[in-house]
Chain A
Amino acid sequence: MLKYIISRFALSLVTLWVIITLTFVLMHSIPGNPFASESTMPQGVYENLMKYYNLDKPLVIQYGMYLKSIAHFDFGPSIKKSTVSVNGYIQKSFPVSAHLGLQALAIAIFFGVLLGTIAALNHNKGPDYFSMVLAIIGISVPSFILATVLMNYIAVEWKLLPVAGWKTWKHTILPSVALAMMPMAYIARLMRSSMLEVLGQDYIKTAKAKGMAKSIIILKHALRNAILPVVTVLGTIATNLVTGSFIIENIFGIPGMGDMFVKGIFDRDYPIILGSAVFYSAILILLTFLIDIAYTLIDPRIKLVGGVRDAH
């Protein structure tokens, strides 16, 4: 177990290093520099700016400095808004994104598991078709379309909820639902097939034969085992939520990290892009690492061999 955790952790660090290096190389492979376009700038100011952002030094040294500052969790200053550091940005916007993401995750898991279970229990009957139609819609309709449609009808035409912004909990409903739809559909489908498999197992028949209440069989025996595959895909779902948030935050004007990242792209603000890419990757890699370990704790049947989880 310990050996697995250590090798898995080492792999995570390597991955993070690859990402940092790749993003660094990508950002610096762009011809020119962020100030070159501003032709009105006096020569002295230009040189000072280049010096301030260390852009006058050789690339290798810049790379070394960047690695060193990242090791200290320092992403440097933003270029377009020179008074704010990337760290300051992340500190301000990450809690907002985390709130949105966790809320969406909760909706996705709760309703996904619920729909999947209902579908499996009513296999090939009305509720099953209803849940699966909902799941197929969730997978087919991109989140930005769902978000604009929800916004147009629920907020603009029927005025049930605020249109945009991030102030009260009412502001959080529409974005969370729009963000949760795709992962929810994904979980519901997964849950349905794994529940169907579990319900066909002998121990469920035994429990039934012993005369146990249906609710106990479902909650204690079936659900616990059927939910395992959902745990494995939590990493994928977290990635899905992060990339979904780029768009959802942009549409609803939510001051989170996704919005910051997208604005960074529009402004070509490289420290912001680099910083948020590295931060996102670090969070996602950490999550996958934790989920992998959690999975082995939940399901003792999983054997850990070397650096990989056994295929299942």
Chain B
Amino acid sequence: MRTEIKLTEDMFQPVNDNFKNAENISRPNIPFWTDVWRRLKQNKLAMVGLTIISLLAVMAIIGPYLSGFNYYSQDFSKKNLHPNSIHWFGTDYAGRDIFTRAWYGARISLFIGLMAASIDFVIGVVYGGFSGFKAGRIDNIMMRIGEVFYSIPHLLMVILLMVVLPQGLWTIILAMTITGWIPMSRLVRGQVLQLKEQEYVQAAKAMGASTGWILRKHLIPNTMGPILVNITLTVPQAIFAEATLSFLGLGVPPPMASWGTMTSDALESLFVGNAYQLFIPAFLISLTMFAFNVLGDGLRDALDPRLRK
């Protein structure tokens, strides 16, 4: 059975202008990092972490100047004072102002954490990127070397180095980065190896994209995510390692203060009722570790929505 199709005039109108743009993406084009930031903002815990880190950073900069005391002056007539209106966090066994020392310690601890993370980042990206880019034999040898060093217990090596090298801030950073860059290099290498073979990279190549474009638009944004998460989680590890070293008496030399040395100094005070001397640095260490850990977790989720549950 056939039906006659009635052709009328209005079937042959020019296409509406709106219809021509049907292929256009109507929503605004959101760059990768804007999208990450949008997802991160929805994660309350991560935002709490970010706020804490910002506050700690601000206090590390201005904190030591607020109370009018310095971190090294000893005054034995004012030792072991509980928190009061003059010494906001009290004084320690040598009469030093704990408020000033706590924020000066924040400087040292955060500096160690950030330096260790950035040195790990630079060495790890160069070594891992080269290894993954070259692939084959060179990659194999480079990764075996990395594996051997990775098997050395990290903190054990750090302690051995600290025994041998003269005490100081840079020694701690050196000791921490000497094997600390290996996880980062393994991560970068894995990413590069994996991404090189991805279909969208091949597709980009097939469509005639230049190497520079592929690097800028595909490889770097996709590698940056895991790297950033790794950096965020390296900082608390370094702060923790510094605290452990200080606790063993291998930390920054006095009169410098770090949260680790302050905790270690305050241990005995705990048993004579001066628990505040321990709790202030202990709380600050824990708060920092907490903030960086939740921010790292949040970043991981924000960067890879597939992982989110």
Chain A residues near B (Cβ < 8 Å): 11-12, 14-15, 18-19, 22-23, 26-27, 29-30, 123, 136-137, 139-142, 144-145, 148-149, 152, 156, 193, 196-197, 239, 242-243, 246-247, 250, 262, 265-266, 268, 273, 277, 280-281, 284-285, 288, 307-308, 311
Residues of A within 8 A of B271 (CB): 152, 156
How far is B239's CA from A142's CA once the two chains are assembled, in angstroms? 10
Majority secondary structure, A binding face: helix
- From B1-9, B77-85, B243-251, the one touching the partner chain is B243-251
How far is B165's CA from A27's CA once the two chains are assembled, in angstroms? 10
Partner of A239, one of B149, B153, B247, B270: B153
How far is B287's CA from A82's CA once the two chains are assembled, in angstroms? 45
**Among all A-B residue pairs, the 10 with the closest Cβ atoms:** A140-B290, A243-B155, A140-B289, A145-B282, A15-B151, A140-B286, A15-B148, A141-B286, A26-B164, A196-B309
Q: Interface residues of B toward A: which range? A: 35 or more
B285→A145 contact, CB < 8 A:
yes
How far is B153's CA from A15's CA once the two chains are assembled, in angstroms? 11
Residues 122-178 (chain B) with a chain A CB within 8 angstroms: 143-144, 147-149, 151-157, 159-161, 163-164
What is the minimal beta-carbon distance from A94 to any residue of chain B, in angstroms?
Answer: 16
Residues of A within 8 A of B243 (CB): 142, 144
Partner of A144, one of B157, B159, B164, B244: B244
Residues of B within 8 A of A284 (CB): 151, 153
How far is B241's CA from A239's CA once the two chains are assembled, in angstroms? 14
| Cβ-based interface call for B278 (8 A) | yes
Residues of A within 8 A of B153 (CB): 239, 242-243, 280-281, 284
Q: Given contacts A144-B244, A148-B267, A152-B270, are A11 and B144 in contact (CB under 8 A)?
A: yes
A311→B148 contact, CB < 8 A:
no
How far is B151's CA from A27's CA once the two chains are assembled, in angstroms? 20
B293→A144 contact, CB < 8 A:
no
Residues 85-118 (chain B) with a chain A CB within 8 angstroms: none
Q: Given contacts A145-B263, A148-B270, are A136 and B164 in contact (CB under 8 A)?
A: no
B248→A262 contact, CB < 8 A:
yes
B164→A139 contact, CB < 8 A:
no
What is the minimal beta-carbon distance from A179 to any residue of chain B, in angstroms?
Answer: 13
Residues of B within 8 A of A23 (CB): 160
11 cross-chain CB contacts under 8 A: A11-B144, A26-B160, A141-B282, A142-B240, A144-B243, A145-B286, A152-B270, A243-B154, A246-B248, A265-B159, A285-B151
Residues of B within 8 A of A15 (CB): 147-148, 151-152
A148→B152 contact, CB < 8 A:
no
B286→A142 contact, CB < 8 A:
yes
How far is B282's CA from A62's CA once the two chains are assembled, in angstroms? 44
How far is B33's CA from A116's CA once the two chains are assembled, in angstroms? 32
Partner of A136, one of B155, B267, B282, B294: B294
How far is B248's CA from A255's CA once the two chains are assembled, in angstroms? 16
How far is B153's CA from A273's CA once the two chains are assembled, in angstroms? 14
Residues of B within 8 A of A246 (CB): 155, 159, 244, 248
Residues of B within 8 A of A273 (CB): 160, 163
Q: Given contacts A142-B286, A266-B249, are A243 and B144 in contact (CB under 8 A)?
A: no
Name A264's closest neighbour in chain B (CB-CB): B163
B152→A281 contact, CB < 8 A:
yes
| Cβ-based interface call for B225 (8 A) | no
Name A143's closest neighbour in chain B (CB-CB): B244
- Name the residue among B164, B263, B270, B285 with the largest chain A CB count within 10 angstroms: B164
Residues of A within 8 A of B55 (CB): none
A148→B278 contact, CB < 8 A:
yes
B156→A280 contact, CB < 8 A:
yes
What is the minimal beta-carbon distance from A177 to any residue of chain B, in angstroms?
Answer: 17
A247→B152 contact, CB < 8 A:
no
Residues of A within 8 A of B157 (CB): 22
Partner of B152, one of A11, A19, A197, A266: A19
Q: Given contacts A15-B151, A18-B149, A136-B294, are A142 and B160 in contact (CB under 8 A)?
A: no
B293→A140 contact, CB < 8 A:
yes
Name B285's closest neighbour in chain A (CB-CB): A142
How far is B270's CA from A156's CA once the two chains are assembled, in angstroms? 10
What is the minimal beta-carbon distance from A221 to any residue of chain B, in angstroms?
Answer: 19
Residues of A within 8 A of B289 (CB): 139-142
B286→A11 contact, CB < 8 A:
no
How far is B154's CA from A239's CA once the two chains are assembled, in angstroms? 9
Partner of A193, one of B152, B155, B309: B309
Task: Type the 1/0 row for B248-291, where 1 means its CB is closer than 8 Å to any CB of A.
Answer: 11100000000000010001001100010010001001110110
How far is B190's CA from A262's CA once the two chains are assembled, in angstroms? 37
Residues of A within 8 A of B263 (CB): 144-145
How far is B151's CA from A239's CA once the two chains are assembled, in angstroms? 10
How far is B243's CA from A262's CA once the two chains are assembled, in angstroms? 15
Q: Given contacts A136-B294, A156-B271, A246-B248, are A277 and B147 in contact (CB under 8 A)?
A: no
